[in-house]
Structure 1
Amino acid sequence: MTGNEDETSPVRAGWRLPLVICVLGLVLAFVGIGVLANRYDRFRVETSSMENTLATGKRAITRPVTDGGASVQRGDVVVFDPNESGWPGREPGEQLVKRVVGIGGDSVICCDLDGRLQVNGRTITETYLRTDDPATGGKHQPQRFTVRVPQDRMLLLGDYRGNSRDSRAYLDNEFKGSVPRSAIKAVVVAVVTPGEGVRQVSPSPVFTDAGLAGAAATDYGYRYAFWTIVTGALLVIITLLWLAVVGALAWRRRRRQPVLSP
């Protein structure tokens, strides 16, 4: 074995670990990107009907519903097709965003003396509401109603009750303004606010806090996917920097070695 082979073999072996780490970082980044691309969507909020939860212009993260709406529960903020709901006057392909306040069989009453909904006799304290009236500038006076939600359907309201055209506008139709579960296309899991980060939206704890059944678990998959991408990118960047430094030092060391005459 020559002197050059003795020197280069350890160097070559030393490159293997950082290269493996770099490949691992790339795999993590692509896995995270794949999860976000295939399991979640994003949309821009165009109206104020869901303030304060979803302000106009904000970006929301949604999870497509693939089970016909069977997993959707009270408190979820959902994207749905009003044309499948019996709501007249809607454009083809139009989709709306509202909150589920009642599911099939629920008795929903608006409202008690403090303006709070009652679902199956339980008072719901909705901390996310915007309560002003855009017409008067004063406090919104809620529309009184009592509804028994038909089976396999849902009652949907906007969080800005004074500025939302929702199930209340269609209480006189045969389905009491409710929409079928099959019309639900996605659940809004979070909203992205520049400077504040990502805030969880669904599920809401206000219905479970009142003793009603709600969603089984909070979906943090998008957060795990995001941090998987960040971790992978950091591994790649750190490895490339390390390789650049080690390579530069090795190059300088070789230049300083004396040339031996044969």
Structure 2
Amino acid sequence: MTRTEADSSEAERKPRPFKALRETVLLLVFAIALALVVKTFFVQSFYIPSESMEPGLIVNDRILVEKPSYWGSGGPQRGDVIVFDDPGNWLNGLEAEQPMSFLARALAKIGLYPTGGHLVKRVIGVAGDTIVCCDAQGRLSINGQPVDEDAFIEPQRGRDACDGPMPSGAQHCNWTVGPVPSGSLFVMGDNRDDSADSSARLCRPDAEGCDENKPYVPISDVVGKVFALAWPLGRAELVGRPDAFDDVPDAS
């Protein structure tokens, strides 16, 4: 090998800073694009903003939400824990988006940091369902079938305790709602005494000009189904649909 050929071979082996920088930028762009695709179509991370889903999910828990289950004709089912956009002043400052640094906001945009500004509740009724509160044991009935929710809701206490209390008034544990309109859901938090959910927006008998659709969440507002509690690691677990709703008949 001549000296010229040796010098040329040595130059090819030397790192080229611009090439390395270009490859790094391309990898970063690809990673961001992949994260955006995953966030948009598959999985997104959120945090729990309030006490409304205790005892299973507590404030600042990080949860993972999957979206493919609700593609096409598949929609939320009774018992699913869902994340949805505010359907109309439900947040009302109570569960406002968590303040974040510039970096956290940037990561949140591409799905690499949990976001807020949404609500997390459990689906109680789907289209056509009629929900009644409550039977002699304080249980909700859906289409005439009592549902035992003791395994996952916060225990209700007091003389007039039930699984579907309204905030106040004579209808505290005595109300009926439905049939749930097509394309809508009736949702409740697992902490029934501290949840700004569908039951808190029911029209009272003496209310004038009350919107009968106010308690319902449009399915179009649903982001996806919670499938995992991801953080803190000591409590990390999969989140599934309880079998308490299995015996509920379809609406007639």
Q: 1:45 to 1:88 in 2, by over 3 A?
A: closer
Q: Sequence identity, in percent?
A: 33
Query: CA offset at residue 54 of structure 1?
Result: 0.9
Which secondary structure state, in structure 1, belongs to the residue aligned with residue 54 of structure 2?
coil
Q: 1:57 to 1:69 in 2, by over 3 A?
A: farther
- 1:101 paired with 2:124, answer yes
Moved segments of 4+, more than 4 Å: 33-38, 85-93, 138-141
Counterpart of 1:185 (choices 202, 211, 223) is: 223
Which secondary structure state, in structure 2, belongs to the residue aligned with residue 105 of structure 1?
coil
| 1:84-136 deviation line (CA, Å, top 9, x unaligned) | 35758467993111110001100101111221110011111112000246xx8
- 1:67 paired with 2:90, answer no
Number of the residue aligned with 1:238: none
Number of the residue aligned with 1:78: 82
| 1:124-176 deviation line (CA, Å, top 9, x unaligned) | 1112000246xx8x984533210111121100100000100111121122215
Instruction: Assess if the C-alpha contact under 8 Å between 2:189 and 2:195 holds in 1.
Output: yes
- 1:156 paired with 2:187, answer yes
Q: 1:51 to 1:68 in 2, by over 3 A?
A: farther
Number of the residue aligned with 1:58: 61
Which secondary structure state, in structure 2, belongs to the residue aligned with residue 191 of structure 1?
strand
Number of the residue aligned with 1:117: 140
Distance 2:156 2:248 in 1: 28
What code does the residue aligned with 1:100 have? V
Instruction: Assess if the C-alpha contact under 8 Å between 1:39 and 1:63 holds in 2.
Output: yes
Q: Which blocks of at least 5 consecutive residues in structure 1 are unaligned? A: 1-29, 214-262
Map of 1:159-170 to 2, 5 A cutoff? Answer: 159-170=190-201
Distance 2:135 2:187 in 1: 19
Instruction: Assess if the C-alpha contact under 8 Å between 1:78 and 1:97 holds in 2.
Output: yes
- 1:199 paired with 2:237, answer yes
Distance 1:128 1:48 in 2: 14
What code does the residue aligned with 2:177 have? V
What code does the residue aligned with 1:175 have? N
Q: 1:162 to 1:85 in 2, by over 3 A?
A: same
Q: 1:151 to 1:67 in 2, by over 3 A?
A: same
| 1:212-245 deviation line (CA, Å, top 9, x unaligned) | 47xxxxxxxxxxxxxxxxxxxxxxxxxxxxxxxx
Query: Quick check: 60-69 or 48-57, which moved more?
Result: 60-69
Query: CA offset at residue 196 of structure 1?
Result: 3.9
Which secondary structure state, in structure 2, belongs to the residue aligned with residue 156 of structure 1?
strand
Map of 1:16-35 to 2, 5 A cutoff? Answer: none
Higher relative contact order (CA 8 A, sep 6+): 1
Counterpart of 1:128 (choices 141, 152, 175) is: 152
| TM-score, scaled relative to structure 2 | 0.60
Which of these two proteins has the greater Rg computed from alpha carbons?
Answer: 1
Which secondary structure state, in structure 1, belongs to the residue aligned with residue 236 of structure 2?
strand
